[in-house]
Chains A and B, each alone.
Chain A
């Protein structure tokens, strides 16, 4: 089947999509956007988090056909005018990135959190990011990154 959608502001089209494919597969393997990651492909780790019509979702749990006519924003679409998004910059500065595999999903999740709650308290940060697994950092520096990004908003 053919899937037509908007990705990071650009109209995109994928042909010969097998109906069993996920949005994650279409993004990574058909549209050349491997930023969303494939750590569990069952909605447990959050590493494939993208915006689907403004709502953060696990792209692995979205069937490709569900993305028809939708507007999708991935981590690749967050930098504006060539500059890193403040969330990306904060992850970089605080050491919230080690292996980096969870990073794209976390950045989208934090981007969404700060859009909803500009100055979250620590428990709010923890609750908002409870669906994003990180195996390297122990999360402390991720919380540092959220605080830093919020402080600059």
Chain B
């Protein structure tokens, strides 16, 4: 079933090297924080210290009086729409009458030195009337709870922006409720396990902080050089807030230092543009690490109640769940995260009777939105913990229990959607199980170089998990990407130029675009133009969708170019290979360079995946998703059961990627995604107390270091999807989903502790 693609050197299926790699290893690659312009000023942001307060007044006089300060702007200075948002326009550019989370921007400053800008920020006086924050999402849903958005004149949901499916939005503090009902919601079974699970707030913790450069233009517009995941959705929001037509807000992708969902929402884009337009000078903004923790949304913390019922042979009879996701102060992408948690809530299993209710809730906690895995991560920790509990209750092997209930091609999701493509759920699990066990010894014991044990009290455990993720945008969204491909002759050789607006965020999309053009056009030299808004939207670098979507668009544009080559050469059903035009029999008819000559061929086209449909608002039924992706993990851990310290000894992954367009990059995605899941299992949590973030630094918010990461084994399957370009399947998110429950299952195996919450802390193990 593996697809075959004619192998072109550096083409599809080859581990071609990154075109930006040399610049990145020499330090010459220009990230968004590296930009410079003559006469540029530095921007800085004043943020609310309170999670909930009314603003009585803002006094900027002392800040403006500071030498070197060129502008101090507040909500009254926003030239256009005062709010923005991805799905719902509810987030103030600058807070007006109230603040709803700690860190909400209140005022912005431009000065000639970043320290001057920071000192000016410190001189702004804001008179707050501090209110008690709404911090418990369950309590927030109760009747009579204080309303996060109670100010009627300040109604966050007055405008409903276009790029989202029609959302059945909630009322009050309810952002969205997605029910899924299948079969008999009150079904009974002889074996029942129930549990309450909790996921802490994870941060994307990209290394390249929010930053960019806004340059005022002579036409009254602005040129914005920015790190983002979707240039056109930024452009639309920035233009609205500036009160400018879209063609006067031109965005160019600057180097992106990681994204992982945290760059879906705006951060400093409007602020830098406002300051640039006000001062008439270029303005650079670079957040500090601490500010970055307040400058982007996080992964939703969640509380999940699950009940699984099964026959005595292990066959699942029903799953019932209530999932509450804390969306924080503003909507961001919460509606779509809720839909993912609900529709993927039973995992990759066939379940005849399902009753799931997922809720997104407004609180005065930090806003939450997109992070790699997007709602599927929270559900997977709960349903995989439940599967282990069920296996224990039945006395069954946890892998065999999963295999018995595994979703297969032709199976039905709880939404009623037919799974058409390959669904090798049981095979992925058996593959990781059947790998040789991790080596008996280990380079590092729990506690690592701190030398807290010589092996006494150390117990080894092994755990398994598998997850499911939707690829591309769902629920009827018009999801497309645009590519422009130009074939021309330079120095006697046919070369291709690929231009899209797709955001390279580190995943290797620029490489993939080159590879596809090489394969389709039979040329060696392919240049990928800098992504900008001079070409149509590519959609977002999220939902594991860009190789599928922008890859699909580049392939489609290349094929339109090739058709014109064949027409010119008078070769119906031709092919292009190694710089030559071939006829249907494979004979060389002409050199490509001769056919193109001095008349370049250029085509621009949009690519769309198969349409999806909205979910029924009562039953959650509908063909809402485009493609499903699966990954399984086996984690091996050593636990110091006396100190509660964990060392992951090895982690093994099997994932079906449909077609590995770039095998080296695919493995890199799987390893990196797995690391983020290990981080959530063991250490990563933004700790929020009374709406206040307690650990906004890399000293206190820990991400895995090279000492925390174990050796990985990666087994890549290539089972072609019949509907996607080259049969490929989105790769980026699945490894982040199942690694967390696999690690926790391994700790449970070593300790016997229930561990219903991640990250697992030492006190959970020894307490």
| Cβ contact within 8 Å between A135 and B703 | yes
* Chain B residue contacts of A41, Cβ below 8 A: 288-289
Q: Does A65 contact B (CB under 8 A)?
A: no
The answer to whether residues A99 and B707 also contact, given A28-B34, A138-B671 and a CB cut-off of 8 A, is no
| Cβ contact within 8 Å between A40 and B697 | yes
Across the interface, A138 reaches (CB within 8 A) one of B27, B255, B712, namely: B712
Number of interface residues of A (CB under 8 A): 61
Q: Does A101 contact B (CB under 8 A)?
A: yes
The answer to whether residues A127 and B449 also contact, given A40-B289, A100-B257, A133-B703 and a CB cut-off of 8 A, is yes
| Cβ contact within 8 Å between A98 and B507 | yes
A97 → chain B closest CB, angstroms: 5
Tell me which residues from 316 to 338 in chain B have a Cβ below 8 Å from any Cβ of chain A. Answer: none
CA distance A100 to B506 in the complex (A): 7
B660 → chain A closest CB, angstroms: 13
CA distance A98 to B33 in the complex (A): 17
Tell me which residues from 41 to 83 in chain A have a Cβ below 8 Å from any Cβ of chain B. Answer: 41-42, 44-45, 47, 74-76, 78-79
The answer to whether residues A100 and B29 also contact, given A18-B113, A130-B706, A139-B675 and a CB cut-off of 8 A, is yes
Tell me which residues from 492 to 548 in chain B have a Cβ below 8 Å from any Cβ of chain A. Answer: 505-508
CA distance A81 to B505 in the complex (A): 31
CA distance A126 to B115 in the complex (A): 36
The answer to whether residues A75 and B707 also contact, given A99-B506, A122-B443 and a CB cut-off of 8 A, is no
* Chain A residue contacts of B289, Cβ below 8 A: 39-42
| Cβ contact within 8 Å between A45 and B207 | yes
A11 → chain B closest CB, angstroms: 20
Chain A's closest residue to B676 (CB) is A135
A139 → chain B closest CB, angstroms: 4
* Chain B residue contacts of A120, Cβ below 8 A: none
* Chain B residue contacts of A126, Cβ below 8 A: 443-444, 706-707
* Chain B residue contacts of A28, Cβ below 8 A: 34
* Chain A residue contacts of B207, Cβ below 8 A: 37, 39, 45, 47, 99, 101-102, 133-135
CA distance A125 to B707 in the complex (A): 9
Q: Does A36 contact B (CB under 8 A)?
A: yes
Tell me which residues from 112 to 162 in chain B have a Cβ below 8 Å from any Cβ of chain A. Answer: 113, 115
CA distance A45 to B288 in the complex (A): 13
Across the interface, A98 reaches (CB within 8 A) one of B15, B286, B672, namely: B672
Across the interface, B25 reaches (CB within 8 A) one of A18, A97, A130, namely: A97
* Chain B residue contacts of A98, Cβ below 8 A: 258, 506-508, 668, 672
CA distance A74 to B28 in the complex (A): 11
Binding site secondary structure of chain A: loop
| Cβ contact within 8 Å between B672 and A138 | yes
CA distance A38 to B449 in the complex (A): 27
Across the interface, B26 reaches (CB within 8 A) one of A84, A94, A101, namely: A84
Tell me which residues from 15 to 44 in chain A have a Cβ below 8 Å from any Cβ of chain B. Answer: 18, 20-21, 28-29, 32-42, 44
Name the residue in A75, A122, A135 with the highest tally of chain B Cβ atoms < 10 Å from its Cβ: A135
Across the interface, A136 reaches (CB within 8 A) one of B15, B18, B258, B664, namely: B258
Chain A's closest residue to B284 (CB) is A29
| Cβ contact within 8 Å between A104 and B27 | yes
Across the interface, A95 reaches (CB within 8 A) one of B204, B206, B258, B667, namely: B667
Tell me which residues from 187 to 229 in chain B have a Cβ below 8 Å from any Cβ of chain A. Answer: 204-209
CA distance A122 to B705 in the complex (A): 14
Q: Does A117 contact B (CB under 8 A)?
A: no
Across the interface, B706 reaches (CB within 8 A) one of A74, A79, A143, namely: A143
* Chain A residue contacts of B20, Cβ below 8 A: 100
B255 → chain A closest CB, angstroms: 8
Q: Does B256 contact A (CB under 8 A)?
A: yes
CA distance A89 to B24 in the complex (A): 11
CA distance A145 to B70 in the complex (A): 47
Tell me which residues from 92 to 128 in chain A have a Cβ below 8 Å from any Cβ of chain B. Answer: 92-95, 97-104, 107, 122-123, 125-127
| Cβ contact within 8 Å between B664 and A95 | yes
CA distance A150 to B18 in the complex (A): 22
Chain B's closest residue to A38 (CB) is B33
Across the interface, A99 reaches (CB within 8 A) one of B27, B34, B208, B449, namely: B208
The answer to whether residues A35 and B26 also contact, given A99-B505, A123-B444 and a CB cut-off of 8 A, is yes
Name the residue in A33, A89, A134 with the highest tally of chain B Cβ atoms < 10 Å from its Cβ: A134
Tell me which residues from 22 to 55 in chain B have a Cβ below 8 Å from any Cβ of chain A. Answer: 22, 24-31, 33-34, 36
Tell me which residues from 438 to 475 in chain B have a Cβ below 8 Å from any Cβ of chain A. Answer: 443-444, 449
| Cβ contact within 8 Å between B24 and A103 | yes
| Cβ contact within 8 Å between A123 and B443 | yes
| Cβ contact within 8 Å between B25 and A92 | yes
Chain A's closest residue to B20 (CB) is A100
The answer to whether residues A130 and B707 also contact, given A98-B507, A99-B256, A136-B506 and a CB cut-off of 8 A, is yes
Chain B's closest residue to A122 (CB) is B443
| Cβ contact within 8 Å between B31 and A92 | no
- Residue numbers of A with Cβ under 8 A of B are 18, 20-21, 28-29, 32-42, 44-45, 47, 74-76, 78-79, 84, 88-89, 91-95, 97-104, 107, 122-123, 125-127, 129-143
Q: What are 7 A-B pairs with beta-carbon distances under 8 A?
A: A34-B30, A40-B698, A99-B259, A100-B257, A100-B506, A137-B672, A141-B668
Known: A34-B27, A98-B508, A139-B705. 5 other contacts (CB 8 A): A88-B26, A93-B17, A98-B668, A99-B506, A133-B698
